[in-house]
Structure 1
Amino acid sequence: MAEFIKIYEENPNPKEIKRVVKTLREGGVIIYPSDTVYALGCDIKNNRAMERVAQLRGVKLEKANFSFVCENLSNLSDYVKQIDTPTFKLLKRNLPGPYTFILPGNNNLPTVFKKKKEVGIRVPNNAITLAIVRELGNPIISTSIKDEDEVIEYTTDPELIYEKWDNLVDVVIDGGYGGNIASTVVDLTGPEPIVVREGKGSLEL
């Protein structure tokens, strides 16, 4: 049975945030709100938890395209190669926000992602998510709970999400109704930014 924890975005309760982080540190998998859609997440430092998330999404972990959710841009150098000033300015202008930016990964990527040349970075404009990452002290991985193959809308109602995922995850956070449009994915690994998926973030980068 998953815990169902209500957290208000206007003022996330530190006690509830600590409960969620304790679960993450123990290798738990959570479903949490973001500035786009509800997502599955776990501690980036816990391989077993990442395996579980990959299994839930029906993909092999080393092939999974999970995003890293960071608290702010200062975490970037932990996982991303040196970026130039224009790229940094573009990130600074648009984050926190509904974007996933693909950047060249460095050698500090978790072992399972070592073969990956790039990494998707998210800094969602959502106080609950940012409070969790801040309390945890390192990024969490993120993958939306929608299945790309299904035509159904993103699940936006936390109670329905809880009903569906109750036996599969450890915590479902009720942070209010979620959106149903995913983040805009922008590839910054080449000379020019390329929009890989149009989503909630404006394309006026």
Structure 2
Amino acid sequence: MAKFLDIHPTDPQPRLVAQVVEALRNDAVIAYPTDSGYALGTRVGNHSGAERIRAIRHLDDKHHFTLICSDFAQLGQLVVLDNSAFRAIKAATPGPYTFILPATKEVPRRLAHPKKKTVGVRIPQHTFVKELLRELGEPLLSSTLILPGETEPMSEGWVIKDELDHVLDIVVEAGEVTSEPTTVIDYSNGAPEVVRHGSGDASRFE
């Protein structure tokens, strides 16, 4: 059974954040709120956790996971940015965007696109997530919590607990969450291409 943690949305309780961090370090898979719906998360080095996320969402091994970063400095260690991408992404983060960019050698090969050598990265604007990443001290391997057959992310912690109780370790509730996914911008060919319109304003990249 998954542990359900009700965390304050603007002033997260340190002991509860620490519980989530400890669980992640012990290879837990969590459902957590972001600024664009719920996501599934686990430690980057947790191979079995990645497989569990794939199983929950019925994804194949071609699925692009996203690396959730605490700040722009951490993001810059994972992806290659030219000057124009640097300026545009820095201006849009933190926020509800996912960026697909060439991966650096810091990114495990299994997490990058096998042909393009790209990876998805994001810096959410969510108080709990920022605290979690600060305490964890590393990026979080993540995938939007969209169940098979659905088109929108799940947005209510108690519903997630009810439906996925047997396959998750922790479900975090931390205030109201939108059900609209991130806007996805692909920079893998040098110029921005809007791959998915979502909760972030795409016009700045069009």
* 2:108 aligned partner: 110
* 1:200 aligned partner: 199
The amino acid that maps onto 1:131 is: E
Give the secondary-structure state (helix, strand or coil) at the position aligned to 1:75. helix
Long gaps (5+) in structure 2 = none
Give the secondary-structure state (helix, strand or coil) at the position aligned to 1:52. helix
Asked if 1:48 is matched to 2:21, the reply is no
- Aligned mates of 2:76, 2:10 — CA distance in 1: 29
Give the secondary-structure state (helix, strand or coil) at the position aligned to 2:79. coil
Asked if 1:184 is matched to 2:189, the reply is no
* 2:160 aligned partner: 161
Indicate conservation of the 8 Å contact 2:64/2:111, yes or no: no
* 2:23 aligned partner: 23
TM-score with structure 1 length normalisation? 0.92
User: 1:155 Cα shift?
Assistant: 2.5
The CA deviation string for residues 111-136 of structure 1, in whole angstroms up to 9 with x for no partner, is 42253611111101001111111111
Indicate conservation of the 8 Å contact 1:30/1:169, yes or no: yes
* 1:175 aligned partner: 174
- Aligned mates of 1:163, 1:191 — CA distance in 2: 43
Alignment of 1:46-195 (within 5 A): 46-60=46-60, 62-81=61-80, 83-114=81-112, 115=114, 117-147=117-147, 149-150=149-150, 153-195=152-194
Alpha carbons of structure 1 residues 72 and 147: separation in structure 2 relative to 1, 3 Å: same
- Aligned mates of 2:148, 2:84 — CA distance in 1: 32
Indicate conservation of the 8 Å contact 1:36/1:98, yes or no: yes
Count matched residues.
202
- Aligned mates of 1:6, 1:172 — CA distance in 2: 9
- Report the identity percentage: 34
TM-score with structure 2 length normalisation? 0.92
- Aligned mates of 2:150, 2:55 — CA distance in 1: 17
Give the secondary-structure state (helix, strand or coil) at the position aligned to 1:33. strand
The amino acid that maps onto 1:3 is: K
- Aligned mates of 2:180, 2:95 — CA distance in 1: 13
Indicate conservation of the 8 Å contact 2:34/2:126, yes or no: yes
